[in-house]
Each structure stands twice: as structure tokens, then as C-alpha cells.
Structure 1
Amino acid sequence: MTEQTASPAEDASSPAPSAPAQAPRPPRRVLRAIARWAVAGAVFAGVGTGAAFGVSGMERTGLPGLSTHGDGRWDYPELSLPALPVGSPRPFNPENAGEIHHADLRALLLRAPAGATPDKTLTGGWVSTERYLSEYAPGQRAALSVLLDDFAVRHIAARGWTMPDGTVSRVYLLRFPSSGLVAGFKHGAVLGSGVGRSVAAAPGAELDESWPDPPPGSEMFVSTDVYAEPEPYGPTQARHAYVAAGDTIGLIVQERKGGTPAVPFHQTVVLQSQLLG
């Protein structure tokens, strides 16, 4: 900030001032202090209104909504979107009426964080419908299978890993022919009848009240439904979420003996949402 200039010199005929020459300095210091506080106030106000905008450009270690680097976040690789076939629009481009993800579905899967042990059966490749249905209680699988057929699921990709603290993660992405069919599947499996609302690892799951609405860092075209198994739970506690974006819907499941921490789970949901949005 440019410092204010001194006031014009007084008329030479005016009597000499009675105060010392240094007398005007305290007011200038006060003005400068006020200016500094005003700038600080503007910065803090801007942080509040601009947080959502700045989220997508933040380092992954600075994940929004999670206070410090020691709060339990995992060290995920930096996100990068896969290349599209030449001439193919992004899923939420106005020219893409079906909101189709033209990128390889497997390339949209969140990669495992540092220190993870990969699941040898869920390596980031294609999996069968039966493998996806195995996440649900046996009594739910037949009805979910019908919904998958009715809404013409095309591909399912999945990745899994285990962290040193024992937290097990599994991420599935299901691609349908259009966003409208995703909406139909989601209504039937999650919102309407609730056939697939709960997973086998958390049969009594409830909406996760600690999940912010809207979540920090969420993409405007992505909807999330986040659940947590309430106490008392069995040997493990599970958390799971559905992430819907265009022609794709994801299922994220995390479980751990003694309780599944919310921070890395929410982090995982946010980052997978960013990849799809």
C-alpha cells in the first residue's frame, strides 16, 4: 500500500506551529494500522466467499474441510484427468447431452494412497456384476441384479487397498448408457426402495451426519449420498458412499476393526467426486 504524502506546506506568513515536527507521525501510524486491519479483514472475508472456488486448485495435501496436515488424511497421488478421444467432449459440456464420460472408466478410478497394500482381486480393472453384488447382503443381490439389467449397466471397474492402520477400502465405478439411466438406477437402488442403500459390511447404516452439505471441494455436477454404521457395530465399522456423475455412479466402502475414521473416508469421497466431475 502506498503511504500517504504529507499535507501541503502552510503559508510562510503563518506563525510557527507550537507542536514538535514529529507530532503528525502517531496519526499516520494509526492510519497505517487501520489500513492493515482493513486489508486483513478483506482477506479473511474473501477466504469465506472464495473457498469453494479455490478448492480445485489446492494441493491434495490441502484438502478442503480438513483442518491440518496431521488430522489423519492419507497421502493420495495428485489427481489428473485422463485424456479423451479426439473430438470427444467432457461429460458436462453442453454438447454432451447424455453426460457421457468418454474417458476409460478404469482411468477415472481413484488411485490408492501412499503406504497402501493393493487388493489383489481389485486391481483397477474390470470386475463382474457378481463381484459388485458381493458388497451387499445375499437377500439384496437378486433385486439389485434386476436393477442393473433394467438400467443396462455397461461396465464396472474397481480398485481396493488396505492401509497400515487396517482400514480396508474398495471403490467401484459403474457406467450406464446415459445420465438418465444412472438417475433411474440410483432412485431404485439408493433413494427409492433402498434396495442397495446399505452394504453387507454395514447393514444398519444411517446417513452420515458429519458429512457437510454441500461438501467442501465437491463438484457441482456430482451428487453424493454418504452413510455410516452407527454404534453398536460388530467387529468392524463400515462407511460407504454413492457418488453419481453423468453416466457413472460410484460406490466407496471403507471398514476397519474398532471403527472407521471419518477424515480419510470423507477425503476419499471428495477426491473420487473430483475425478468424476
Structure 2
Amino acid sequence: MPPQPPPQPPQPPVVHTPAPRPPRRVLRAVARWTAAAVVFAGLGTGAAYGISSMERTDVPGLATQDDGRWDYPRLSLPALPAGSPRPFTEGNTGEIHYTDPRELLLPAPAGASADKKLTGGWVSTEQYASEYAEDRRAGLRQALRDQAVRHIAARGWTMPDGTSSRVYLLRFQSAASAQEFKDAEIGSGADGGVPLVGAPTTDIDEGWSDSLASAVENTSAELFLEPAPYGGTQIRQAYVVAGDILALIVHEKKGGAAAVPFRQTVILQNQLLG
């Protein structure tokens, strides 16, 4: 019988060794860079000061495609004069808007016909007072002189469905002056205060939720509507206080002014002022 080969030594078992983990300091560095990338992305978005024209899912309670919202152009804040702060930044104690108020007016939506009197420029105190009941106009004009209102800018338009819209921006010497005029002269609260022409009585807009009211920090918005029966035309009105600027927003329409485009208008104007 031929000689047998000597037995082979046993093979060592195969051990699957996991790849070495990166040092903890590397992991921490990666985490820091990832967080930084997210922060810079957010800053890049914010620096553009872009304001959406209200995408359908942006605003609570106004999220369906065919809800009657108007097609506003995409909005952005105008540039500030060199070295001027924004109204709610530290150090701007008067909460002054250094941007020309005409550039802060909401533009008209698509399909609108421009108001020939309210073209986006300056208007007189008489024009602003003409929105109110005749027996209250003299008092409002005097109060505007007493509070030394600096400028009033206004824009108006009419939509194809007949809704008439008007926006007034009253710029005062300071946030305190704007609030004083609103509280002492307009006096809105449980109702719209000094009545507008054609709307002798008003109620609070109960559909204006707290989440919408607080959507723009450092500002306040109050919405009112003329209750039924309102005759042929219904009026909706709102006041926005944003630093040294008081805004009056009015929608009126024969047969009833729709809630959704009115609240949309208020939110967008509020965003421009905040």
C-alpha cells in the first residue's frame, strides 16, 4: 500500500471582523457640518425675504384648491435704505418702517381692475376719512393732525365678481402714535369701532382663528364683518397694527363679501408689514 500523506493541520476559523468605526470626533464633526448646512440653507431662504403668494397648504384653514382664493403675485419685501433697521429689530424702539409705505402696499391680484383714485400712491386725510360715516369724519381728520400722521398710501381694485377692495396704510411718528390713534379714535374691539360708510353695524369675524391672528409676530390684526341683514352690499373690514403703521383693509360686494379672499388679503398685507 502506498504511503499516506501526513494529515494537514486544521485551518483557523474564518472570522468576519467589522470595519473599524470612525473615531467619535469624526462623527461629531460630520454632525456639526450637517447641522451647519441646514442652518445656512435656512438663512439663505430667509435672506431673500420672499413671501409666498399663499400656496394652498401654507395657511391654516385655507387649504383647498378651489376655496375662492385670489391669485396674488409672488411678494417680496422691498430693500431698506442703507443702514436702516427693520421695524422690529433691536434698537428700533419706535418700531419705524424706514421703507416707503407705498412699496409695502399689497399689489392687486390677477384679473383686477385698478381703482382710478387709489393707485398705490399718497392720498389725503380727507380721502381716508371718506371711508367712514359722515358725522365722524371731522373728528378723524382732527385726530390725524393731532397725531401728526406722516403719510397715507392707498391702493384699490375691483375683481371680476364685483368685489371692491381698498387698502390704506397710515404711517405715524411711532408705534405708540399708531396704537393711540387706533385705540382712542377708531376704538375697535367688540365691533369695528367708528362705522364705515354703508356698514352702520359690525361683528367680529368669528372665523378668524387665533393661529391666523398670531401668524405674523409683533403685529395685530382684527377682522369684522357687517352682519345680515345687510341690504344689497356687505362690507368686511380689518385693522392691522404693525409698528408705526396702521392698515385699514376693506372688501365689499353686492350679495355678500366672501370670507376667504378677505382673510387672504389681510394675511398678505400683514406679512408685508411684519
Task: Report TM bin, short chain.
Answer: 0.7 to 0.9
Please state how far the C-alpha of 1:271 moved relative to its aligned partner: 0.3
Superposed CA RMSD: 2.0
2-structure distance, mates of 1:214, 1:171: 23
Aligned to 1:179: 175
- Contact residue 116 and residue 164 of structure 1 kept, 8 A: yes
- Contact residue 61 and residue 69 of structure 1 kept, 8 A: no
CA distance 1:206–1:231, change in 2 (3 Å): same
Letter in 2 for 1:99: E
Please state how far the C-alpha of 1:192 moved relative to its aligned partner: 6.8
CA distance 1:218–1:188, change in 2 (3 Å): same
Please state how far the C-alpha of 1:57 moved relative to its aligned partner: 6.5
SS in 2 for 1:60: coil
2-structure distance, mates of 1:271, 1:192: 21
| Percent of aligned positions that are identical | 57
Aligned to 1:198: 195
2-structure distance, mates of 1:212, 1:195: 17
SS in 1 for 2:246: strand
1-structure distance, mates of 2:158, 2:256: 15
- Contact residue 51 and residue 75 of structure 2 kept, 8 A: no
Aligned to 1:213: 210
Q: Structure 2: where are the runs of 5+ without partners?
A: 1-49
Aligned to 1:189: 185
* 1:134 alignment partner, one of 130, 133, 143: 130
Aligned to 2:13: none
Please state how far the C-alpha of 1:61 moved relative to its aligned partner: 2.7
Letter in 2 for 1:61: E
Q: TM-score, normalised by structure 2?
A: 0.77
2-structure distance, mates of 1:228, 1:105: 26
CA distance 1:195–1:256, change in 2 (3 Å): closer
CA distance 1:158–1:248, change in 2 (3 Å): same
Please state how far the C-alpha of 1:198 moved relative to its aligned partner: 2.4
Matched, 1:113 2:109: yes
Aligned to 1:61: 55
- Contact residue 249 and residue 266 of structure 2 kept, 8 A: yes
2-structure distance, mates of 1:276, 1:58: 14
Letter in 2 for 1:229: E
CA distance 1:161–1:150, change in 2 (3 Å): same
- Contact residue 51 and residue 76 of structure 2 kept, 8 A: no
2-structure distance, mates of 1:68, 1:192: 31
Letter in 2 for 1:133: A
Per-residue CA distance 1:179-216 (angstroms, 9 max, x = gap): 01011111112337989532113121111111112416
* 2:69 alignment partner, one of 62, 70, 73: 73
Matched, 1:266 2:266: no
Letter in 1 for 2:55: T
Q: Structure 1: where are the runs of 5+ without partners?
A: 1-55
Q: Which moved more, 1:249-258 or 1:60-69?
A: 60-69
